[in-house]
């Protein structure tokens, strides 16, 4: 029972990340000034970006659409030759690898944010923690066994 709860928690966290990524990404693409979500372009002064359009696109794709694909795969365990191409762990379902990628991408996203605009924002801590939890839940032996490809 606990193993099932941990798998559900993994999926829920990835869906939360996806919803946040899509909503944040769309907000930044629609309003690259960031004003609609209370961001100021002065945050970008020490970066290569002049507005939030490119970060919004990256956020939308890597932490919005991609986690939705991972969550779908974790829930359904559907096979996909295309999605499996990006899975270096061929003995495990592609969604398992994508789950691991989601956690790593989120932690790296927050790391880059802190390097580029500085830290100290509560959401950075929350999402960094989410990323670490996703990685840990993905690497739990019962999760690995559940998503192992059966011959």
Q: Which residue has the tokens 């790593």?
A: 104
Task: Give the rounded distance of the alpha carbon of 102 from its chain centre.
Answer: 4
| 151 in a structural domain | no
pLDDT at position 67, please? 98
Number of domains observed in the structure of the chain: 1
Task: Give the range of the structural domain holding residue 46, as residue numbers without chain letter.
Answer: 2-146
Separation between Cα atoms, residue 97 and residue 77, nearest integer Å: 12
| 47 in a structural domain | yes
- Read off the pLDDT of residues 69-91 as tens digits, 9 standing for 90 and up: 999 999 999 999 999 999 999 99
pLDDT at position 43, please? 86
Separation between Cα atoms, residue 129 and residue 78, nearest integer Å: 29
Higher pLDDT, 135 or 43: 135
| 7 in a structural domain | yes
Separation between Cα atoms, residue 127 and residue 150, nearest integer Å: 33
| 142 in a structural domain | yes
């Amino acid at each position: 029972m606990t193993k099932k709860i941990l798998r559900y928690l993994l999926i829920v966290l990835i869906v939360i990340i996806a919803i946040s990524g899509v909503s944040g990404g769309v907000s930044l693409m629609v309003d690259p000034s960031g004003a609609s979500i209370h961001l100021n372009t002065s945050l970008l002064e020490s970066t290569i970006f002049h507005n939030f359009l490119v970060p919004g696109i990256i956020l939308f794709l890597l932490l919005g659409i991609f986690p939705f694909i991972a969550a779908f795969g974790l829930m359904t365990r559907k096979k996909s030759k295309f999605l499996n191409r990006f899975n270096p762990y061929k003995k495990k379902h592609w969604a398992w690898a994508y789950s691991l990628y989601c956690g790593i991408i989120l932690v790296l996203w927050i790391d880059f944010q802190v390097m580029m605009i500085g830290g100290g924002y509560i959401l950075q801590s929350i999402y960094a923690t989410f990323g670490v939890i996703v990685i840990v839940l993905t690497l739990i032996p019962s999760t690995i066994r559940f998503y192992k490809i059966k011959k």
